């Protein structure tokens, strides 16, 4: 029997579409409306800082202790060996959580917020101190390594108003999501101090790391020429930021859509 209606096709994923739109708008602004590249990177720097502030708020009120995570502890690997030597072992040691009950452990004691179910676990404070330090280093690195050379090459006499306005909008948006999704809908119950910040931390770290690599490469290529490092690196750094943000958003979209975690795919049991 002949079908009266054509087969139904699935509509494009709204989240995937938003990834393309969000990353296409800055490019369109640069190409069509002559948006200042320096102002754009200033906005990205402010946006990263605003996002980190709300990330720290979420980490502060995380509803899980680090020892409750089923994933590998974030500071137990060899890459954190230096921090483990410098800081007291009690910043990282979870042995008291294993040797005593959860109720009797000092790490499980909570500073409650009146009239709410939200509180601050004492066990999250050591990790929170480290997280704030790491986020601060990444934010300063973005400003000095990625945005700094582009702003210096542009010789900006005054900063346009739109980066500050945009950062204000991001602040309100992140705040609303934190209040509605994280606190009101109980998202904090599934987060620890590390899982609350790792997405923002890795995003900033990747962009700063790639930006540093680009800066060093440009420096080697212009050695012996009268061209300044800031002017030579402006376009490569801008392209690096735009491409890195798009790829990170795209990878995060597909990883979040998987039924298994990325770690389980790489390291199956």
User: Does residue 90 lie in a domain region?
Assistant: no
User: Does residue 27 lie in a domain region?
Assistant: yes
Q: Distance (Å, rounded) from C-alpha 66 to C-alpha 74?
A: 9
The domain tally of the chain equals: 1
* Per-residue pLDDT reduced to its tens digit, 105-158: 777 787 878 888 888 888 888 889 999 999 999 999 999 999 988 888 887 767
User: Does residue 144 lie in a domain region?
Assistant: yes
User: Does residue 12 lie in a domain region?
Assistant: no
User: Does residue 43 lie in a domain region?
Assistant: yes
Per-residue pLDDT of the chain (269 residues; tens, 9 = 90+): 444 444 444 445 778 888 888 888 888 888 888 788 888 999 999 999 999 999 999 999 988 877 644 444 455 555 555 555 554 444 444 444 443 444 447 777 878 788 888 888 888 888 899 999 999 999 999 999 999 888 888 877 677 888 899 999 999 999 999 999 888 888 888 888 888 999 999 999 999 999 999 989 988 888 878 878 888 888 889 999 999 999 998 888 887 766 445 555 544 54
SS3 269: coil
Residue 147 domain boundaries:
18-67+106-266
User: Does residue 82 lie in a domain region?
Assistant: no
User: Does residue 116 lie in a domain region?
Assistant: yes
Q: Which residues contact 205 (CB under 8 A, 6 or more apart)?
A: 138
What percent of the chain is helix, strand and coil (3-state, nearest 5)?
70, 0, 30
Q: Distance (Å, rounded) from C-alpha 173 to C-alpha 79?
A: 34
User: Does residue 96 lie in a domain region?
Assistant: no
């Amino acid at each position: 029997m002949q079908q009266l209606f054509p087969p139904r096709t699935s509509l494009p994923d709204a989240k995937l579409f938003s990834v393309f739109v969000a990353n296409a708008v800055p490019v369109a602004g640069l190409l069509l409306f002559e948006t200042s590249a320096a102002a754009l990177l200033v906005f990205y720097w402010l946006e990263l800082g605003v996002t980190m502030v709300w990330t720290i708020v979420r980490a502060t009120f995380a509803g899980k202790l680090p020892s409750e995570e089923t994933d590998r502890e974030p500071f137990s690997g060899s890459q954190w060996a230096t921090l483990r030597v410098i800081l007291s072992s009690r910043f990282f040691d979870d042995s008291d959580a294993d040797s005593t009950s959860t109720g009797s452990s000092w790490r499980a004691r909570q500073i409650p917020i009146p009239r709410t179910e939200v509180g601050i676990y004492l066990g999250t404070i050591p990790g929170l101190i480290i997280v704030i330090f790491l986020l601060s280093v990444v934010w300063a690195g973005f400003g000095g390594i990625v945005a700094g050379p582009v702003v210096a090459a542009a010789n900006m006499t005054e900063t346009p108003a739109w980066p500050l306005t945009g950062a204000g909008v991001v602040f309100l948006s992140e705040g609303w999501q934190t209040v509605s999704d994280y606190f009101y809908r109980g998202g904090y119950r599934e987060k620890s101090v590390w899982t609350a910040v790792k997405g923002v931390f890795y995003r900033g770290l990747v962009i700063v790391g790639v930006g540093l690599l680009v800066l060093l490469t440009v420096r080697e290529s212009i050695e012996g020429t009268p061209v300044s490092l800031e002017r030579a690196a402006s376009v490569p750094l801008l392209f690096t930021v735009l491409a890195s943000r798009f790829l990170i958003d795209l990878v995060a979209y597909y990883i979040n859509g998987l039924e298994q975690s990325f770690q389980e795919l790489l390291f199956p049991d």
